[in-house]
A and B are shown apart, each in its own frame.
Chain A
């Protein structure tokens, strides 16, 4: 019985055992050969082994710039901070020198490195650092650390990153990831090769069919798909789907805490005598009337207890009714004008209540 799916595609002829074997050997050799060449030509730059980092002056530039700004209050976060704080307005309302340091798509690994290698290393340290977060982000160390996020993480590292190695490499990764990274670090360099290949495909396609350069065509793609051209409701639906990962509570808070960067961040601010304030921002689903799940309430209760025991203030805006659904632009992002300013005013008022009453 011939089960061949593709007729002539059969790798094996019906006769000629030697030919069959020779063909199998040849095919395997070629495949292995290509992989071997890739391995031999690859110069390993192990991801979280600190000695192999190629240093850039990025950290120095960040430190210099922050040091000269002399912030009293420093906000740290990702795009939620970008859309959720008007720093000039906050500065005016609270009478403090306020700076925001954000990176779209960043998560706890990046924030930890901000604390370790920038904020606590500058001479003019801020008095207060405010960290914006959602759901379980503070205890999801592996979240947004792979693929396109990896390059930025590397830019923030120094020669010694034992905690980063420990948390990401040993605790935060699945067994398979850890194994691959340990023994086949080149696999994690695929992102670069993939980008190069994708650019090559795009570039050669456009140059072969038009008179335009690849760079100009890329600009056209960027302009065509820029945020202002997108349908807000459709983008929101996609973003909410992608964010489901951080809404999952996979274990007890205590277990998650042990594997996270949070204890290290708290240790760093204590040593540097910086006051840390956590801001849990309101998510769209809650503004739209969805109740907060019990497991999330339990998780936040655990987080709150832990933060309180370490003298870290948690400002939880999850149930802040003044931030209604109309203030959101896409996903969990507040609209850049009205939403941003509204939340900034709420936050500034709370700051004034807490600190001006204390006379700080």
Chain B
């Protein structure tokens, strides 16, 4: 801001509000503007410019004889003596005038004000005596206070002045100059002083000591040292859990994390070095990244080995991969794998979704940890964590089966020991009940309710189990075994025969085979296609792996086809087939394929036969409709509506046809097929 080149000192501002002391001159612009200015000083003696200020509300004293000042000229200084008009003079004359009045009665009892005067005005000859008086004024009360005051008010400015004379460009460094004292030993700290500066400061120190001997301890010595770098007198205490994000995960949405009711530090791998410079290690350090970047995870873990890292690879593959074997063989750190699904995008997804289960498991609500367990208490060195949402209408056995199925697919072998975590709910089964549910498949220990943090939102059950290396040749064997045990978990009695199983419950008994490829499916009787068997099927075919189309086609035949995932819905004593068919056929993500259309047609025909049909208008000939729906090429009469398959139903359009024998005609009809737990329902509109 450019001010005027000249201004007139008209008043003084008594900013210390004392009857005796310096006044700050206030200026009026020479051009007659109404603005008030103060002078910007250069070394106290020169006017560098004028700066506008607001007129102070209090503490001004009018100068009887205003004088002008100009930029570049001598600065004006003012002083208030008691019972006298204020003194206002240019710097040189002001110095002389004040020097003459140092011994005046007004200043005689004011050693600290005198110090300000001689120090500000540079009255060298008066300094030794004035410094001593001022020092003694402080020392009368507190020697330490006096020494600290002397060091910062006398020694420090003197050293800076000496150093400035030696090196006028060193002001930036000089601003960092600080003095510490212990007895007669002084330590002068300054940034980047260099050897020459050090010698210069040492010489200046000796000169000052010699000049003001009376206020320094005898035998004073000095060391010059660089300023200590931002050393923290304190280190931050670590959060209960530190999460280090690695690779693409840290480049994506670092907008983590969870609710901070839990004590978590989340940092990128590139920040970790600096972080741990200031912060202690947490009880638990998670190193989290995509599984395909496992080498990077291991490298970061090596870097922070002392933090007892726990690796958390996030994988988009449901099944264990060869990469897992390589990772497990090469990593000496414990790990918990998280399955994130095929659609996981490491750069867009919020990793908190996948980290939350781990952190929930490791932490308790509210205060800092300790964690529920330390990494050494993991079930195994390499583990997988699976989470299943607890829906109100789903029984606990189904939840257990779902978790078991997913665990099998993820490489958790039957018989493995596992930990189970359940969001607390007192209305749920006890520890023993939960452990018994899993008994056929895994040796599960329930981590008790109360150990899990109470959270808002959906509740979950989580299974933490060993993810063991598997050879592909072993995989099929373990899945067969796993399928049987899953059926037992679901509540079925199993009797094993050479080539098939016998499943039974109180009122039902049927055979089952477990297959891993389509070639292993027993052939149906040849001949014309008959009605699908549905609940009348004599054989259950359990597919270890199967495409949806295989199931849809199969279930229009004589056997009932399910996958491992369907076993959770096979509740004994119920019409379990219909929930299974619904799961295979009806869901928003289910594509309206030809196989889906044909199975939906057969299910619609079954609904008519079961008299679970509602006709709203223009009833077609039921006989024609059933015959059309059950024909092998039903697509000649039937098509999906644009909405096709929704969350709850299948929408189809039945086209007008003329019966060639009877010449009956049917109008267009809309078929809305839903599948309830006890059977299909059809609305014809």
**Pairing of A with B:** no
Chain A interface residues (CB < 8 Å from chain B): none
